[in-house]
Amino acid sequence: MTCGGDFLTLGLESSCDDTAVAVLRGARDVRSELLSSQTLDHAPFGGVVPEFAARRHLEAFLPLTAEALRRAGVREPRDEIGLVAVTSGPGLMGALMVGVMAAKALSLAWDKPVIGVNHLEGHIFANVVSFPDLLPPFLCMIVSGGHTEIVLVRGFGDYVLLGGTRDDAAGEAYDKVAKALGLSYPGGPVIDSLAASGDPAAFDFPLPLRGSQEVEFSFSGLKTAAATLIGRMTRDGGRIPLEDFCASFQRAVTEALMNKLRLASRLTGVRSVSVSGGVAANSALREALRREPGWRVCIPPRDRCTDNAVMIAAAGYAAYQRGERSSLSLAPDPSWEIWKK
């Protein structure tokens, strides 16, 4: 089978708490995509329970795959699917294991190649799928519950890590502050919604690493400042103005992200900028990116910001085109890094 425009890639994603399956034709033509979210399952615990997540993936993969193939019009996968691409790291070990084993089983059953995809490279390709004219070099800021990094994409498969977070990721800070406020999980969308009607200048939160000339992030101090203020206001019997509090906290996070992205652009001279990951769906961040003068900005649709299988299929297809292959000894690697530093 030639790897041309009609080539079909089955993408599987299970790095954390979303089970996702997609069928991609060529580099960008999405034939089907499905996602089974576990958000409501984990909400009572205020975060993802790894063993629980793995069991949910195990239950979801086969019916989700069958339905994705049906919606894509694939009747004989052995004859029509050209490649199985699967997230094999980084992520939760148990969750990754379910996806990798499912992919290898399908590869054996259909006699098709399998390729392991780095989850973060997948997030880069969420932009590539959405913007056909997005070509290297460009910057990609990956910002989610587990990651906050700025990467220079020198070429597909050639990535330089310009900097990441010293401690908490931006999405993690959102979740922890939301929990301290008594809001539901995940915290990012709830804070974003409340912030829409709040005053971003109501509270003067510290701006992390404001004076640093390194492309790096730190959100633990901001998170602690927010939690300390919540505790003091609660002890004093005062009412926390949620809308203003959320708007002010969100302003600080957004400014911290934008300052470091501007620094990365100045240091590299690259003015083509993309963003990905769950926090890329945040309305304040999206607006700040759109307002930035002199940049060519690519922001994927919100359903491409969270974990999805389209980005995994696209990254797998591109890697396959470059000549990369995985064997049936493919194993998940929860700490897999692909960046040059």
- Please check whether residues 103 and 145 belong to one and the same domain: no
Q: Is residue 130 part of a domain?
A: no
Q: Alpha-carbon dihedral of residues 302, 177, 193, 60, nearest 10 degrees? A: 40
Measured CA to CA in angstroms, residue 79 lies from 185, 203, 252 at distances of 43, 60, 52
Q: Is residue 310 situated within a structural domain?
A: yes
91: left (phi over 0), alpha (psi -120 to 50) or beta: left
Do residues 43 and 98 share a domain?
Answer: yes
pLDDT above 90 for 46: no
Boundaries of domain holding 159: 135-299
214 and 169 Cβ atoms separated by less than 8 Å: no
Is residue 139 domain-shared with residue 121, that is, in the same domain? Answer: no
274 and 158 fall within a common domain:
yes
Least confident range from 105-109, 183-187, 255-259, 261-265: namely 183-187
Are 12 and 52 members of one domain?
yes
Average of pLDDT values for 265-290?
97
Q: Is there a single domain that holds both residue 14 and residue 60?
A: yes
Q: Could you tell me if residue 1 is inside a domain? A: no
331 inside domain: no
Question: Where do runs of H (alpha helix) occur along the chain?
Answer: 39-42, 50-71, 77-80, 93-110, 119-130, 170-180, 187-195, 220-235, 242-268, 283-291, 309-321
- Measured at the CA of 301, the angle between CA 251 and CA 97, to 5 degrees, comes to 95
Contacts of 18 (CB under 8 A, 6+ apart): 35, 36, 37, 38, 306, 307, 308
Q: Are residues 174 and 80 part of one domain?
A: no
Percentage helix, strand, coil for the chain under 3-state DSSP, each rounded to 5: 45, 20, 35
Token pair listed for 212: 């640093």
pLDDT at 7 over 60: yes
Structural domain contains residue 232: yes
Domains in the chain, number: 2
CA distance 101 to 308: 18
Same domain flag for 149 and 265: yes
Residues 84 and 154 reside in one and the same domain: no
Distance CA 257, CA 284 (A): 11
Inside any domain, residue 3: no
Residue 89 lies in a domain: yes
* pTM score above 0.85: yes
Give 91-121 pLDDT, tens digit per residue.
999 999 999 999 999 999 999 999 999 999 9
Q: What is the distance between the terminal CA atoms of the chain, rounded to a whole angstrom?
A: 37
pLDDT band for position 41 (50/70/90)? Answer: confident
Question: Are both 176 and 292 inside the same structural domain?
Answer: yes
In a domain, 339, yes or no: no
Q: Quick one: pLDDT band at residue 52, thresholds 50, 70, 90?
A: confident
Are 228 and 288 in a shared domain? yes
CATH number at residue 197: 3.30.420.40
Q: Do 144 and 247 lie in a common domain?
A: yes
- If you average pLDDT over residues 10-36, what whole number do you get? 96
The overall average pLDDT reported for the chain is 94
